Structure 1
Amino acid sequence: MQLPALRLAPLFLALVCSTAPAQPGPQMNLPRVELTAGMYRIDAQVAASDAARQTGLMFRQDMPAQEGMLFVFEQPATQCFWMRNTLLPLTAAFVADDGTIVNLADMKPQTDDSHCSAKPVRYVLEMNQGWFAKRGIKAGSKLGGSLFKR
């Protein structure tokens, strides 16, 4: 009577293996908003839910130069970011409600180093590392867009 059980073992194993959770992938279909930084246009994906903010730019292999991700929080707070499962070197701009960049932080891929806002903010904009520096955009510069209070 053990013979039928042995024949079912591979089938059971195949079924269990096929229902294992898949490796999460990059978020590509979030809503988008157009922002400006001086004369430069930014096409930003908007991560406004807990799930979208937690995944962020993880697993992305590349990102066009003019694109980024804007993290939107319900209220200003000290925001801290890390780069676990994030493959791209990024710069985070911590942004006040009026669009003023409070501080910038360059972040290395696939690290758990914490990068925090210098004061409470509601927005964080991640761009490819060097994007802000190459355009002379630094702390005190203002971003434009419909989300920011005037």
Structure 2
Amino acid sequence: MKNVMSAGKTRQKLAKKRSLCVINEQIESNFNAVWPSAIVFQQPAKGLSKIVLLAILVLSILKGTINACPLELPTATLSINGHRLIVELAATPQSRGCGLSKRTALDENQGMLFIYPRSAPRTFWMKDTWLPLSIAFLDDSGNIINIEIMLPDQTEKKYHSSKSALYALEVNQGWFRLHGIKAGDRVEMKAIVNIKGPR
């Protein structure tokens, strides 16, 4: 009886081992298919399960999809000295973080309005932003504090508000100058004046 049971256990162990081998081969095949060859460690690090590495890769891909820019945002119409401008509203941390990055085009009379929960000094840069832009920093009443010209796709230069700002308005580079808009002018935004971005 003991020998029969031992033989049965041996067969079970062998079947389990074969199943694990099949699963491992499938994982290895999937791993090699999706893992970019440009990554330095093409093979899993010693002692680290391929399942763990594959899970990390999948989570990274999902995270990249969730945080992908650009985002689809609500829009509103602003007016500055009679010049109408259609803007996307960036009122959340994620949308403000994306901004106009990775855009390949922006229509002539379009832009993006960044909305913050409170007035504070603001700083922008142009990482992954391929379009030349102009930015106007606005106070609580929508008055333009200062306007800056922003160079595309670089991180060396930072663009600051000269005072605390509640809003920032990005448009195609030169749009403000083309329409004679300058510091001190007021941006009319009645439809969104009560919107305050989350922290």
The amino acid of 1:61's aligned partner reads T
Aligned to 2:177: 133
- Classify 1:109/1:4 alpha carbon distance in 2 versus 1 (closer, same or farther; 3 Å): same
Contact 2:69-2:98 at 8 Å conserved across structures: no
Structure 2 unaligned segments of length 5 or more: list them: 1-17, 37-56, 195-199
Query: Greater helix share, 1 or 2?
Result: 2
Aligned to 1:117: 161
The amino acid of 1:11's aligned partner reads N
Q: Structure 2 CA distance, aligned partners of 1:136 and 1:81?
A: 23
Report percent identity of matched pairs: 33
Task: Give the aligned CA root-mean-square deviation in angstroms.
Answer: 2.3
Q: Structure 2 CA distance, aligned partners of 1:25 and 1:72?
A: 18
Aligned to 2:143: 100
- Give the CA deviation at 1:37: 0.8
TM-score normalized with structure 1 length: 0.87
Aligned to 2:33: 14
Using CA pairs under 8 Å that are at least 6 residues apart, name the structure with larger relative contact order, 1 or 2: 1
Structure 1 unaligned segments of length 5 or more: list them: none
SS in 2 for 1:82: strand
TM-score normalized with structure 2 length: 0.67
SS in 2 for 1:36: strand
SS in 1 for 2:69: coil
- Give the CA deviation at 1:128: 0.4
The amino acid of 2:126's aligned partner reads M
Larger Rg computed on CA atoms: 2
- Give the CA deviation at 1:15: 4.6
Contact 2:136-2:169 at 8 Å conserved across structures: yes
